Amino acid sequence: MRTIGTSSVQVPSISLGCMSLGTDRNEAKKIISFALDEGIIHLDTADLYDFGQNEKIIGELVKHHRDQIVLTTKVGNHFNAQTESWYWDPSQAYMAEAIKHSLNRLQTDYIDLYLLHGGTIADPIDETIAGFEQLKQSGMIRAYGISSIRPNVIKEYMERSNMDAVMMQYSLLDRRPEEWLDILHEHNISVLARGSLAKGLLSNKADKYRKQKASEGYVAYDEQELRLILDKLKEFALPLQQLAFQYVLKHPAVASVVVGASSQEQLRENSPYLHMKPMDDTLYHAIQQITKSTTYTQHR
């Protein structure tokens, strides 16, 4: 278990991203039950997923195990479930309203980690921070942070708030967050990494995705580069999925890898890596030599 920031919230090295659960309650129950049995006790959702239905399903399934589960949900998308429309609203007033609905749907009286579901530099950042702090003081949330890849937004929250976490896309094929890992760690802010399997390119079934996914390119890589890198990674004679998770979790700033699953079988492919050993330095640096170290060019 890894501690989130300076909070008392602890999460396993692999978390379940619930966006892909779908609306079939029976299938969702199988996935969540399997996750909990395997020790994947951190569930990451958002109020916007299926316009509240995702939170409702999770609430029904975990209400009898609440003290054994870590719940993350998100706020900032002011939505109408009837019209399935939404607009961005990071105001303190909306946060105070939205969390009540999330708590009701999740059938709980507190959220372990509450994240702003995005954010821009034009937001009323101080007001949003005040909203988080008020919710924390009230006991409705235990910790807060942002889900963002924008360097200018991350920088402002890092310097102006007491946030404990940032969720961002990070993989050995998308090393842009590495620009921030050391400084986030210095500020006692944990990273929750999403997209660490790079849309399946780094899964154990990567060959299945090569023609379909590699042709689309990925971040700073074109199709030819992806094919070459995947071949080089295979030379390490370890499962690609293991390399993907171990690489991201190597930096002490990273608390957990958030992996989605739309079936029990997908989750079964990830769960064996929950208790894997850390990647050794030699392998870590070898991977860095064959992949690109890039930075975000926008939102500076």
Given the DSSP bridges, would you call strands 10-11 and 2-3 parallel, antiparallel or unpaired? Answer: antiparallel
| Annotation marks residue 284 as catalytic | no
> What pLDDT, on a 0 to 100 scale, did the predictor assign at position 210?
62
- Asked whether residue 109 is assigned to any structural domain, the reply reads yes
Alpha carbons 300 and 294: distance in angstroms, whole number:
14
- Asked whether residue 23 is assigned to any structural domain, the reply reads yes
- Asked whether residue 31 is assigned to any structural domain, the reply reads yes
- Asked whether residue 281 is assigned to any structural domain, the reply reads no
- pLDDT tier for residue 300 given thresholds of 50, 70 and 90: confident
Checking if the pLDDT of 53 tops 80, the result is yes
Q: What is the mean pLDDT of residues 267-292?
A: 94
State how many domains the chain has: 1
pLDDT, tens only, 200-258: 899 887 676 666 667 778 899 998 999 899 999 999 999 999 999 999 999 999 999 99
Domain range holding 37?
A: 2-200+244-276
pTM: 0.94
Residue from 49, 170, 209, 273 carrying the catalytic annotation: 49
User: Higher pLDDT residue, 207 or 102?
Assistant: 102
**Percentages (nearest 5) of helix, strand, coil residues in the chain:** 50, 20, 35
Residue 10 has φ and ψ, to the nearest 5°, of -125, 140
Average pLDDT across the chain, whole number:
93
Q: What is the mean pLDDT of residues 140-158?
A: 96
Measure CA 153 to chain center. Answer: 17
Q: What is the mean pLDDT of residues 270-297?
A: 94
- Asked whether residue 36 is assigned to any structural domain, the reply reads yes
Residue 126 maps to which CATH number?
3.20.20.100
Q: What percent of the chain has pLDDT over 90?
A: 78
